[in-house]
Amino acid sequence: MTAILFPLAAALTAALALAFAGPAAAQDAAKLDSGDTAWMLMATVLVVIMVIPGLALFYGGMVRAKNTLSVLMQVLVVFSLMSVLWAVLGYSLAFSEGNSVIGGLSKAFLAGVTPESLQGTIPELLFAVFQLTFAAITPALVVGAFAERMKFSAVLWFLGLWLFACYIPLAHMVWGGGWIGAMGAIDFAGGTVVHINAGVAGLVAAIVLGRRKGYGKVAMPPHNLTFTLTGAALLWAGWFGFNAGSAVAANGSAALAMMNTQLATAAAVLAWAFAEWVIKGKPSLLGAASGAIAGLVAITPACGNAGPMGAIVLGALAGVVSFWAVAYLKRIAGYDDALDVFGVHGVAGIVGALGIGILASPSLGGAGFGGDNAGIGAQLAVQAAGVGFTLLYTGIVSFILLKLVDLFIGLRVSDEAETEGLDVAEHGEAAYNG
């Protein structure tokens, strides 16, 4: 009797279980999570705030009064231009199926990206617009390197071309299914794709454009460090959207990214301020604010994989190394990277991208290595490959683009315009009218 009843009962139970399990079991593959979606909607807004007004004010306060508007304008318009280019073509080339280097055209004009299509647990549209903010902030960062001397038209042409030649391929190679990501390189929120990328482009641009008139002889102190601090603070707060948002989910990974971001940044502020205090005699606000940005940049690739104590170490290291790059390397090498795009974004980005090769190790509190990498040695090699490729690729391509734009329309403003100030010369307005 039991021999028949038992299997029957089991079968009945199983049938019932299946009947009620229905929805969850069948749609485990892709389901919209409103928690993730809500967070990512907010994260996107936070990154927008990082650019306008964050970056705009951070940079605007550091230039001379006669060039304030030119920087604000460049950031605002570049941000807007990249937004449109991304939607029309960029998203597809970065994130659609392609090869190991670039995506395809299947999603050009956002074709097929509807309010119903999903990317993981969030709407694909949301993923696309979140990534849009990354694509738009990266060229905006470059603006700082050639501040106070580049023609507005040349800025737009150079960065518009650069988006497609440098940002999008790198984004595809690291995040969109390309070879760098396939190697198991760790770049959680864009240390390589955004910061090293922008840093190198900035360095090349600073060199190709040449130094500002009077550089080294004429005093060019920041005209409003209150703006700069305000901008830095908006960048810090907004960066939580940049870093924690790169978890593309409202979960523990995002929480780790947030904690790491806060700790690394704080450590970097302290590191730069103390380094300056000890070496130069007085700690400056510009130094502390720059330290914050260096920390934010360094933790960007590492925030999802390092442990919190590792984040503190990384931030402190980035603060000191960036301070060195800005206070010593720049002077020794002689280039006029006006707002230290390479010194802060490039150098701290390199520190972070290499540092996570070590800090990802579980023995150091990390969340583990990427891909098939078995240890620090393997991960570090992969990180170095990504960094090295970016330095070479973006360096060379940026140079070519600059020379091209120079050939057609010229890069630099005239001597008179530079002396008068770009606000009046390029934009016909003054930032301060009594």
Partner 1 sequence: MKLVSAIIKPFKLDEVREALSGIGVQGITVTEVKGFGRQKGHTELYRGAEYVVDFLPKVKIEAAVRTELLEQAIEAIERSANTGKIGDGKIFVFDLEKVIRIRTGETDAAAL
**Whole-number Å distance between alpha carbons of 59 and 402:** 22
In angstroms, what is the minimal distance from the CB of 415 to partner 1?
23
Q: Which is nearer to partner 1, 6 or 328 (CB)?
A: 328
Contact between 140 and 79 (Cβ < 8 Å): yes
Strand partners, 157: none
Amino acid making up residue 316: A
Q: Which is nearer to partner 1, 349 or 366 (CB)?
A: 349
Amino acid making up residue 266: A
In angstroms, what is the minimal distance from the CB of 145 to partner 1?
14
Dihedral sign, Cα of residue 166, residue 171, residue 176, residue 181: positive
* Interface positions with partner 1 (CB under 8 A): 219, 221-222, 276, 280-282, 284, 286-287, 290, 323, 326-328, 330-331, 340, 343
In angstroms, what is the minimal distance from the CB of 281 to partner 1?
8
E strand intervals along 259-354: none
Q: Which is nearer to partner 1, 198 or 303 (CB)?
A: 198
How would you write 98-158 as a 3-class SS string?
CCCCCCCCCCHHHCCCCCCCEECCEEHHHHHHHHHHHHHHHHHHHCCCCCCCECHHHHHHH
Q: Which is nearer to partner 1, 61 or 191 (CB)?
A: 61
Strand partners, 118: 123
Q: Which is nearer to partner 1, 307 or 319 (CB)?
A: 319
In angstroms, what is the minimal distance from the CB of 433 to partner 1?
18
In angstroms, what is the minimal distance from the CB of 82 to partner 1?
27
Contacts of 166 (CB under 8 A, 6+ apart): 197, 201, 393, 394, 397, 398
In angstroms, what is the minimal distance from the CB of 164 to partner 1?
32
Amino acid making up residue 109: F
Q: Residue with structure tokens 């807004």?
A: 45
Q: Which two tokens stand for residue 307?
A: 């442990």
Q: Which is nearer to partner 1, 267 or 286 (CB)?
A: 286
